[in-house]
Amino acid sequence: MIKQRPAETDPPKIDQRSDDANQSKIFDEFIKLYEKHVNAKAAEIEEEKKKDGLSKIVVDTKKTKIKESITYSTMMKHCLKIVERILVLNSQEVVYSDYKSWESLADKSEATKGVVLPLWRFKHEKAVQRHVTAICWNPKYRDLFAMGHGTYEFGKAGKSGLIYCFSIKNPTYPEFSASTDSEVMCMSFHPQEPILLAVGLYDGTVQVYDIKSKQPNNRPIYQSTVRTKKHTDPVWQISWENEDPSKQLRFYSISSDGRVTLWTLQKNKLDAEDIAKLKIIPKEVKALQTEKELSEKSTEQDEEETYYGLAGGMCFDFNKFNSSLFLVGTEEGSIHLCSKTYLGQYLETYEVIL
């Protein structure tokens, strides 16, 4: 038998409203929200002044002039960014639907496997006919990526480089842009601090940008110089050290000058420390090493006779299980196993046979 427990409650109130929207009403509502925001800021300032024992400050937004123009305010920029993304999304709806379901005559042909339409086009007027030399995705904001422009025609090198951060939500205009004194060759986002972008240039300079910075012309917050032991040749790869963000921020770079350098972000400068110098091994010595005919001599004189010059570094990768070990690839086609504890010495050398 089902036991019933009746209860008396008031029915929820139902209210139906309708209204029309136009530019004047939208503007009036925005002014109300803006004045509410200003009043809240003024109240916070007044409370802070009271805590400090200072005199009260009376702020009346209706009688006093608002110093910050509404048109160029931060809130207006944020609202315009959201509106712009919505408009772009609506305008790209046809492209998205065609990308998913459009069928062309090529899809029915046996000779081809189909046609894929371009989904996004990222471009800027200043980057016309410029090579894309570097690209990296942001580790936190999955729709955001950085793109660097330079050139691979090294005979024509010497122009300025360009850095853009685009979002898939708005491919028509970059979220961040900056110009460099030399061509961009590589870049990398910090894994824990996604607003920090490290950049390597053709002239050997390494830079660090804050993509949320409000500095004029978006200048770098850190930059290597001759005094801080900058590279003398192009920087081919750059990578942040994946450590606890509470510690000092550091990143690695490799260049054609034969150096693998660790850069530490100090208070006002970049501190450089070479963790490896890529010395060239002559072919005669390589042959003797493979035949195990080298005598075991460890004096500095023997090392200077065996090794000479520095090899151009092209790429590197650290061991995921042992952070002190890393592989380095050189222009000569050799791959060397190096360690942070042995500067200028190779633990192993691997030859690429084509």
Whether 15 is covered by a domain: the verdict is no
Reported as type and span, the H/E element at residue 168 is: none
pLDDT for 347: 87
**Inside any domain, residue 175:** yes
Pair 66, 131 in one domain: no
Q: Kindly state whether residues 204 and 324 are assigned to the same domain.
A: yes
Q: Is residue 29 part of a domain?
A: no
In a domain, 25, yes or no: no
Domain boundary among 108, 140, 155: 108
At residue 124, the pLDDT reads 84
Residue 205 lies in a domain: yes
The answer, yes or no, to whether residue 314 has pLDDT greater than 70, is yes
| Window from 26-40, 197-211, 229-243, 316-330 with minimum mean pLDDT | 26-40
Q: In the predicted model, is pLDDT for residue 31 greater than 80?
A: yes
Residues 189, 87: one domain? Answer: no
Contact 258, 316 (CB under 8 A): no
Query: Are residue 181 and residue 281 in the same domain, yes or no?
Result: yes
C-alpha to C-alpha distance for 197 and 209, rounded to whole angstroms: 5
pLDDT in the model for residue 69: 64
Residue 322 lies in a domain: yes
Residue-number span of the structural domain to which 84 is assigned: 34-108
Q: Is residue 49 part of a domain?
A: yes
Q: Are residues 181 and 273 in the same domain?
A: yes
Number of domains in the chain: 2
Q: Are residues 218 and 289 in the same domain?
A: yes
What residues contact residue 271 under an 8 Å CB cut-off, 6+ apart? 228, 263, 264
Considering the domain architecture, whether residues 184 and 38 belong to the same structural domain is answered as: no
pLDDT value of position 282: 65
Q: Which residues contact 261 (CB under 8 A, 6 or more apart)?
A: 229, 231, 252, 253, 254, 255, 272, 273, 274, 275
Segment 82-132, tens digit of pLDDT: 888 888 888 777 777 777 766 666 555 555 565 666 778 888 888 887 889
